[in-house]
Amino acid sequence: MSAFDALILAGGRGQRLAGKDKGWIMWDGLPLIEHVLARLHLQDKKPERILISANRNLDAYKQTGYLVVSDERPDFPGPLAGIEAGLLRCKRNRLLVVPCDTPLIPTDLHERLDQAMNDQPNAKAAYATTSDGPEPLCCLLDPLIGASLSHFLSRGHGSVISWLEDIKAVAVEFSDPDAFRNFNTPEIFDSKRST
């Protein structure tokens, strides 16, 4: 099983939540960032390093004890810029990327994405998909694709899935769409489901 680093994406504007920083919204007794950190520690093996991509409330994120990275590009260009910032600091290990608003990610996320990449030695990335569609922000990346991502971003702000398709990432089917549910609307915080 390959060593890996993990990147939690917490650098967005929180537009669906009236501009709130999603990582610090409380659900089931803890802020979302703490739920995601707990799920990372339940993976098949623990990440060697955890990085948090954030563009505001940096001191609060630093209080978690993990390395905080900010976008290299101005004006919140989207999650790919956060991934780019993570890859710039990830030179050796594969990088597992997860959003901060997905507190129920599967505990076998790394194991299954890693296996898919090992099964296809030319693959530079793998991402989750479910019956509800692709989950491109739950992905595992080869550290050497940072230059490809920087080039893609410099051509314009494309979507995450279009970049993953560009680099021929492997889609890995997961059976439980609810595990990838994004907590990004006020209504969903009424739910108390936790696993």
Annotated binding-site residues for GTP read: 9-11, 22, 71, 101
Task: Mark the binding-site residues, compressed into ranges.
Answer: 9-11, 22, 71, 101
Pair of tokens at residue 65: 């004890």
97 beta partners: 7, 139
Binding residues for Mg(2+): 101
Q: How far apart are CA 35 and CA 138, in angstroms?
A: 15
The identity of residue 150, as a single letter, is: S
Q: Are 95 and 5 in contact (CB under 8 A)?
A: yes
Tokens of 187: 């209504």
